[in-house]
Structure 1
Protein backbone atom coordinates (compact mmCIF):
# COMPACT_ATOMS: atom_id res chain seq x y z
CA UNK A 1 0.00 0.00 0.00
CA UNK A 2 1.33 3.39 -0.95
CA UNK A 3 2.40 5.66 1.90
CA UNK A 4 0.39 8.59 0.54
CA UNK A 5 -3.10 8.16 -0.88
CA UNK A 6 -3.81 8.17 -4.57
CA UNK A 7 -6.06 11.14 -5.18
CA UNK A 8 -8.87 11.19 -7.70
CA UNK A 9 -9.89 14.03 -9.98
CA UNK A 10 -12.59 14.98 -7.47
CA UNK A 11 -9.89 15.50 -4.81
CA UNK A 12 -8.00 18.25 -6.66
CA UNK A 13 -9.05 21.66 -7.97
CA UNK A 14 -10.47 21.43 -11.48
CA UNK A 15 -7.44 23.05 -13.12
CA UNK A 16 -5.25 20.16 -11.91
CA UNK A 17 -7.49 17.23 -12.85
CA UNK A 18 -5.87 16.54 -16.23
CA UNK A 19 -2.42 16.43 -14.60
CA UNK A 20 -3.35 13.16 -12.91
CA UNK A 21 -3.45 11.43 -16.30
CA UNK A 22 -0.59 10.19 -18.43
CA UNK A 23 -0.42 12.08 -21.70
CA UNK A 24 0.73 8.84 -23.36
CA UNK A 25 -1.65 6.38 -21.77
CA UNK A 26 -4.64 8.66 -21.28
CA UNK A 27 -5.34 7.32 -17.81
CA UNK A 28 -4.41 8.33 -14.28
CA UNK A 29 -1.09 6.97 -13.05
CA UNK A 30 -0.17 6.28 -9.44
CA UNK A 31 2.85 8.56 -9.66
CA UNK A 32 0.68 11.54 -10.59
CA UNK A 33 -2.15 10.57 -8.27
CA UNK A 34 0.28 10.46 -5.31
CA UNK A 35 1.82 13.81 -6.25
CA UNK A 36 -1.72 15.15 -6.54
CA UNK A 37 -1.78 15.39 -2.76
CA UNK A 38 0.02 18.68 -3.46
CA UNK A 39 -1.44 19.91 -6.75
CA UNK A 40 0.97 22.83 -7.11
CA UNK A 41 3.96 20.48 -6.80
CA UNK A 42 2.34 18.08 -9.26
CA UNK A 43 1.92 20.94 -11.75
CA UNK A 44 5.51 22.06 -11.31
CA UNK A 45 6.93 18.57 -11.68
CA UNK A 46 4.80 17.81 -14.74
CA UNK A 47 6.04 21.05 -16.31
CA UNK A 48 9.66 20.28 -15.43
CA UNK A 49 9.51 16.68 -16.63
CA UNK A 50 7.67 17.78 -19.77
CA UNK A 51 10.48 20.21 -20.51
CA UNK A 52 13.04 17.44 -20.04
CA UNK A 53 11.12 15.33 -22.57
CA UNK A 54 10.81 18.00 -25.20
CA UNK A 55 13.77 20.31 -24.60
CA UNK A 56 16.69 18.01 -23.72
CA UNK A 57 17.95 17.96 -27.32
CA UNK A 58 17.66 14.17 -27.52
CA UNK A 59 15.70 11.94 -29.85
CA UNK A 60 12.85 9.95 -28.29
CA UNK A 61 15.08 6.87 -28.38
CA UNK A 62 18.01 8.54 -26.65
CA UNK A 63 15.68 10.13 -24.09
CA UNK A 64 14.33 6.71 -23.13
CA UNK A 65 17.84 5.23 -22.91
CA UNK A 66 18.74 7.93 -20.38
CA UNK A 67 15.54 7.42 -18.37
CA UNK A 68 15.99 3.64 -18.34
CA UNK A 69 19.58 4.09 -17.17
CA UNK A 70 18.46 6.37 -14.34
CA UNK A 71 15.65 3.99 -13.33
CA UNK A 72 17.99 1.02 -13.33
CA UNK A 73 20.72 2.81 -11.39
CA UNK A 74 18.24 3.83 -8.71
CA UNK A 75 16.63 0.37 -8.88
CA UNK A 76 13.24 1.97 -9.29
CA UNK A 77 10.89 -0.77 -10.46
CA UNK A 78 7.93 1.56 -11.03
CA UNK A 79 9.86 3.94 -13.27
CA UNK A 80 11.61 1.08 -15.07
CA UNK A 81 8.31 -0.64 -15.75
CA UNK A 82 6.69 2.50 -17.17
CA UNK A 83 9.65 3.42 -19.34
CA UNK A 84 10.40 -0.07 -20.63
CA UNK A 85 6.94 0.12 -22.21
CA UNK A 86 7.58 3.62 -23.56
CA UNK A 87 10.99 2.51 -24.87
CA UNK A 88 9.37 -0.27 -26.87
CA UNK A 89 6.97 2.29 -28.31
CA UNK A 90 9.85 4.39 -29.66
CA UNK A 91 11.52 1.38 -31.28
CA UNK A 92 14.00 0.21 -28.66
CA UNK A 93 14.27 -3.56 -28.85
CA UNK A 94 14.20 -6.02 -25.98
CA UNK A 95 17.94 -6.75 -26.15
CA UNK A 96 18.81 -3.08 -25.61
CA UNK A 97 16.29 -2.73 -22.78
CA UNK A 98 17.59 -5.92 -21.18
CA UNK A 99 21.18 -4.75 -21.65
CA UNK A 100 20.53 -1.60 -19.65
CA UNK A 101 18.55 -3.59 -17.09
CA UNK A 102 21.31 -6.12 -16.56
CA UNK A 103 24.28 -3.79 -16.99
CA UNK A 104 25.44 -5.54 -20.18
CA UNK A 105 25.67 -2.67 -22.66
CA UNK A 106 26.90 -4.88 -25.54
CA UNK A 107 23.59 -4.56 -27.48
CA UNK A 108 24.00 -0.76 -27.63
CA UNK A 109 26.06 0.95 -30.31
CA UNK A 110 29.08 3.07 -29.34
CA UNK A 111 27.14 6.35 -29.18
CA UNK A 112 24.36 4.80 -27.09
CA UNK A 113 26.89 3.21 -24.76
CA UNK A 114 28.55 6.58 -24.21
CA UNK A 115 25.15 8.18 -23.58
CA UNK A 116 24.09 5.52 -21.05
CA UNK A 117 27.46 5.53 -19.31
CA UNK A 118 27.28 9.33 -18.99
CA UNK A 119 23.72 9.15 -17.61
CA UNK A 120 24.82 6.53 -15.07
CA UNK A 121 27.79 8.68 -14.06
CA UNK A 122 25.49 11.68 -13.58
CA UNK A 123 23.13 9.69 -11.34
CA UNK A 124 26.09 8.26 -9.40
CA UNK A 125 27.65 11.74 -9.21
CA UNK A 126 30.80 10.35 -10.77
CA UNK A 127 31.24 12.51 -13.88
CA UNK A 128 34.92 13.22 -14.31
CA UNK A 129 36.96 14.85 -17.09
CA UNK A 130 37.24 11.60 -19.07
CA UNK A 131 33.52 10.87 -18.99
CA UNK A 132 32.70 14.47 -19.85
CA UNK A 133 35.14 14.45 -22.76
CA UNK A 134 33.48 11.30 -24.14
CA UNK A 135 30.00 12.83 -24.12
CA UNK A 136 31.29 16.21 -25.36
CA UNK A 137 32.66 14.43 -28.43
CA UNK A 138 29.10 13.45 -29.37
CA UNK A 139 26.81 16.22 -28.11
CA UNK A 140 26.84 20.00 -27.86
CA UNK A 141 26.84 21.77 -24.49
CA UNK A 142 23.09 22.42 -24.54
CA UNK A 143 22.31 18.74 -25.08
CA UNK A 144 24.78 17.71 -22.38
CA UNK A 145 22.86 19.94 -19.97
CA UNK A 146 19.66 18.26 -21.17
CA UNK A 147 21.10 14.78 -20.62
CA UNK A 148 22.30 15.58 -17.10
CA UNK A 149 18.99 17.23 -16.19
CA UNK A 150 17.03 14.30 -17.63
CA UNK A 151 19.10 11.73 -15.73
CA UNK A 152 18.92 13.60 -12.42
CA UNK A 153 15.29 14.63 -12.93
CA UNK A 154 14.22 11.02 -13.29
CA UNK A 155 16.51 9.90 -10.47
CA UNK A 156 14.80 12.51 -8.28
CA UNK A 157 11.35 11.39 -9.37
CA UNK A 158 12.42 7.85 -8.57
CA UNK A 159 13.34 8.94 -5.06
CA UNK A 160 9.83 10.26 -4.52
CA UNK A 161 8.32 7.08 -5.97
CA UNK A 162 10.34 5.04 -3.49
CA UNK A 163 9.51 7.34 -0.56
CA UNK A 164 5.81 6.94 -1.34
CA UNK A 165 6.22 3.16 -1.93
CA UNK A 166 4.12 3.30 -5.10
CA UNK A 167 2.91 0.06 -6.58
CA UNK A 168 2.38 -0.61 -10.26
CA UNK A 169 -1.01 0.23 -11.69
CA UNK A 170 -3.71 -2.38 -11.26
CA UNK A 171 -3.38 -5.15 -13.83
CA UNK A 172 0.34 -4.54 -14.37
CA UNK A 173 3.12 -6.96 -13.59
CA UNK A 174 6.75 -5.88 -13.36
CA UNK A 175 8.52 -6.51 -16.68
CA UNK A 176 11.71 -7.41 -14.86
CA UNK A 177 15.14 -5.91 -15.41
CA UNK A 178 15.57 -8.37 -18.27
CA UNK A 179 12.13 -8.35 -19.90
CA UNK A 180 12.99 -10.81 -22.66
Structure 2
Protein backbone atom coordinates (compact mmCIF):
# COMPACT_ATOMS: atom_id res chain seq x y z
CA UNK A 1 0.00 0.00 0.00
CA UNK A 2 1.29 3.44 -0.90
CA UNK A 3 2.63 5.45 2.02
CA UNK A 4 1.61 8.76 0.44
CA UNK A 5 -1.51 9.73 -1.48
CA UNK A 6 -1.43 9.65 -5.25
CA UNK A 7 -2.08 13.20 -6.42
CA UNK A 8 -4.10 13.88 -9.54
CA UNK A 9 -3.56 16.55 -12.15
CA UNK A 10 -6.26 18.61 -10.46
CA UNK A 11 -4.26 18.58 -7.20
CA UNK A 12 -1.28 20.24 -8.86
CA UNK A 13 -0.47 23.78 -9.88
CA UNK A 14 -1.13 24.26 -13.61
CA UNK A 15 2.61 24.29 -14.45
CA UNK A 16 3.03 20.83 -12.93
CA UNK A 17 -0.10 19.00 -14.07
CA UNK A 18 1.46 17.27 -17.06
CA UNK A 19 4.30 15.90 -14.92
CA UNK A 20 2.14 13.08 -13.48
CA UNK A 21 1.37 11.80 -16.99
CA UNK A 22 3.66 9.23 -18.56
CA UNK A 23 5.65 10.43 -21.55
CA UNK A 24 5.69 6.81 -22.74
CA UNK A 25 1.97 6.22 -22.36
CA UNK A 26 0.30 9.48 -23.40
CA UNK A 27 -2.68 10.38 -21.25
CA UNK A 28 -1.87 7.80 -18.56
CA UNK A 29 -1.19 9.08 -15.07
CA UNK A 30 1.40 6.85 -13.39
CA UNK A 31 1.68 6.15 -9.70
CA UNK A 32 5.36 6.97 -9.35
CA UNK A 33 4.85 10.53 -10.54
CA UNK A 34 1.56 10.85 -8.66
CA UNK A 35 3.34 9.86 -5.44
CA UNK A 36 6.33 12.16 -5.98
CA UNK A 37 3.85 14.89 -6.97
CA UNK A 38 3.18 15.45 -3.28
CA UNK A 39 6.27 17.67 -3.63
CA UNK A 40 5.82 19.42 -6.96
CA UNK A 41 9.33 20.89 -7.10
CA UNK A 42 10.90 17.49 -6.50
CA UNK A 43 8.65 15.94 -9.17
CA UNK A 44 9.79 18.62 -11.60
CA UNK A 45 13.43 17.92 -10.76
CA UNK A 46 13.03 14.16 -11.15
CA UNK A 47 11.33 14.56 -14.52
CA UNK A 48 14.07 16.93 -15.72
CA UNK A 49 16.83 14.56 -14.61
CA UNK A 50 15.15 11.47 -16.04
CA UNK A 51 14.63 13.33 -19.31
CA UNK A 52 18.33 14.16 -19.47
CA UNK A 53 19.28 10.54 -18.78
CA UNK A 54 16.77 9.42 -21.39
CA UNK A 55 17.79 11.82 -24.13
CA UNK A 56 21.36 12.89 -23.46
CA UNK A 57 23.24 9.94 -21.95
CA UNK A 58 24.89 8.93 -25.22
CA UNK A 59 23.33 5.48 -24.95
CA UNK A 60 21.15 4.02 -27.68
CA UNK A 61 17.54 3.24 -26.75
CA UNK A 62 18.48 -0.43 -26.42
CA UNK A 63 21.48 0.34 -24.20
CA UNK A 64 19.43 2.73 -22.05
CA UNK A 65 16.82 0.04 -21.45
CA UNK A 66 19.55 -2.48 -20.60
CA UNK A 67 20.75 -0.03 -17.94
CA UNK A 68 17.25 0.63 -16.55
CA UNK A 69 16.25 -3.05 -16.45
CA UNK A 70 19.60 -4.00 -14.93
CA UNK A 71 19.09 -1.45 -12.16
CA UNK A 72 15.51 -2.63 -11.60
CA UNK A 73 16.69 -6.24 -11.36
CA UNK A 74 19.65 -5.40 -9.12
CA UNK A 75 17.58 -3.43 -6.60
CA UNK A 76 14.49 -5.64 -7.13
CA UNK A 77 12.23 -2.76 -8.13
CA UNK A 78 9.22 -4.60 -9.53
CA UNK A 79 7.55 -1.27 -10.29
CA UNK A 80 10.41 0.01 -12.45
CA UNK A 81 10.80 -3.42 -14.08
CA UNK A 82 7.11 -3.42 -14.95
CA UNK A 83 7.31 0.07 -16.44
CA UNK A 84 10.25 -0.79 -18.70
CA UNK A 85 9.75 -4.34 -19.96
CA UNK A 86 7.58 -3.22 -22.87
CA UNK A 87 9.76 -0.19 -23.54
CA UNK A 88 12.77 -2.50 -23.70
CA UNK A 89 10.97 -4.75 -26.16
CA UNK A 90 10.22 -1.74 -28.35
CA UNK A 91 13.92 -0.79 -28.11
CA UNK A 92 14.95 -4.17 -29.54
CA UNK A 93 15.46 -6.40 -26.52
CA UNK A 94 14.08 -9.90 -26.97
CA UNK A 95 12.09 -11.50 -24.12
CA UNK A 96 14.95 -13.98 -23.59
CA UNK A 97 17.40 -11.09 -23.18
CA UNK A 98 15.09 -9.34 -20.72
CA UNK A 99 14.76 -12.54 -18.69
CA UNK A 100 18.56 -12.94 -18.79
CA UNK A 101 18.99 -9.47 -17.27
CA UNK A 102 16.71 -10.44 -14.37
CA UNK A 103 18.85 -13.45 -13.51
CA UNK A 104 22.18 -11.71 -14.29
CA UNK A 105 22.95 -14.02 -17.19
CA UNK A 106 25.11 -12.02 -19.58
CA UNK A 107 25.65 -14.80 -22.11
CA UNK A 108 23.02 -13.61 -24.65
CA UNK A 109 24.77 -10.26 -25.06
CA UNK A 110 27.77 -9.13 -27.10
CA UNK A 111 30.89 -8.01 -25.21
CA UNK A 112 29.96 -4.31 -25.26
CA UNK A 113 26.56 -4.97 -23.67
CA UNK A 114 28.07 -7.43 -21.18
CA UNK A 115 30.35 -4.65 -20.04
CA UNK A 116 27.35 -2.32 -19.78
CA UNK A 117 25.45 -4.81 -17.60
CA UNK A 118 28.48 -5.40 -15.37
CA UNK A 119 29.11 -1.67 -15.06
CA UNK A 120 25.47 -0.92 -14.28
CA UNK A 121 25.33 -3.58 -11.57
CA UNK A 122 28.54 -2.18 -10.09
CA UNK A 123 27.10 1.35 -10.09
CA UNK A 124 23.96 0.07 -8.35
CA UNK A 125 26.12 -1.66 -5.72
CA UNK A 126 28.50 1.29 -5.34
CA UNK A 127 31.42 -0.89 -6.45
CA UNK A 128 32.84 0.39 -9.73
CA UNK A 129 36.57 -0.33 -9.92
CA UNK A 130 39.21 1.07 -12.26
CA UNK A 131 39.31 -1.99 -14.51
CA UNK A 132 35.57 -1.94 -15.11
CA UNK A 133 35.61 1.80 -15.71
CA UNK A 134 38.46 1.43 -18.23
CA UNK A 135 36.64 -1.38 -20.05
CA UNK A 136 33.52 0.77 -20.32
CA UNK A 137 35.54 3.73 -21.58
CA UNK A 138 37.09 1.57 -24.32
CA UNK A 139 33.63 0.53 -25.56
CA UNK A 140 31.73 3.77 -25.05
CA UNK A 141 34.05 6.74 -24.49
CA UNK A 142 34.13 9.07 -21.52
CA UNK A 143 31.01 11.11 -22.32
CA UNK A 144 28.80 8.03 -22.63
CA UNK A 145 30.34 6.42 -19.55
CA UNK A 146 29.33 9.51 -17.59
CA UNK A 147 25.85 9.21 -19.12
CA UNK A 148 25.63 5.49 -18.31
CA UNK A 149 26.79 6.01 -14.71
CA UNK A 150 24.35 8.88 -14.26
CA UNK A 151 21.46 6.94 -15.77
CA UNK A 152 22.18 3.92 -13.58
CA UNK A 153 22.54 6.02 -10.43
CA UNK A 154 19.44 8.06 -11.29
CA UNK A 155 17.31 4.95 -11.65
CA UNK A 156 18.73 3.56 -8.40
CA UNK A 157 17.57 6.78 -6.75
CA UNK A 158 14.16 6.52 -8.39
CA UNK A 159 13.86 2.90 -7.28
CA UNK A 160 14.70 3.85 -3.70
CA UNK A 161 12.03 6.59 -3.75
CA UNK A 162 9.52 4.09 -5.15
CA UNK A 163 10.36 1.74 -2.29
CA UNK A 164 10.29 4.45 0.39
CA UNK A 165 6.91 5.74 -0.74
CA UNK A 166 5.44 2.27 -1.27
CA UNK A 167 4.48 3.03 -4.87
CA UNK A 168 2.29 0.28 -6.30
CA UNK A 169 1.91 -0.97 -9.84
CA UNK A 170 -1.01 0.85 -11.43
CA UNK A 171 -4.52 -0.46 -10.75
CA UNK A 172 -5.58 -2.87 -13.45
CA UNK A 173 -2.00 -3.81 -14.33
CA UNK A 174 -0.51 -7.10 -13.25
CA UNK A 175 3.20 -7.58 -12.65
CA UNK A 176 4.77 -9.07 -15.77
CA UNK A 177 7.18 -11.09 -13.67
CA UNK A 178 10.93 -11.23 -13.76
CA UNK A 179 10.78 -13.65 -16.70
CA UNK A 180 8.50 -12.14 -19.37
CA UNK A 181 8.88 -15.10 -21.75
Fold agreement, TM-score > 0.5:
yes
Which residue matches 2:108?
107
When the two chains are superposed, the root-mean-square deviation of aligned CA atoms in Å is 0.8
Shift, 1:85, TM fit? 1.5
Which residue matches 1:22?
22
The count of residues paired between Structure 1 and Structure 2 equals 180
Task: Verify: 1:91 aligned to 2:55, yes or no.
Answer: no
Instruction: Report the TM-score when normalising by structure 2.
Output: 0.97
Per-residue CA deviation, residues 90-144 of structure 1 (Å, 9 max, x unaligned), is 1211011000011111111111111111111111111111111211110111110
- Give the 4+ runs in structure 1 shifted more than 4 A: none
C-alpha distance in 1 between matches for 2:45 and 2:84 = 21
Which ranges in structure 1 are unaligned for 5 or more consecutive residues? none
C-alpha distance in 2 between matches for 1:175 and 1:10 = 30
Which residue matches 2:50?
49
Per-residue CA deviation, residues 39-58 of structure 1 (Å, 9 max, x unaligned), is 11101110011000001001
Shift, 1:171, TM fit? 1.4
Instruction: Report the TM-score when normalising by structure 1.
Output: 0.98
C-alpha distance in 2 between matches for 1:161 and 1:78 = 8
C-alpha distance in 1 between matches for 2:113 and 2:122 = 14
C-alpha distance in 2 between matches for 1:9 and 1:126 = 39
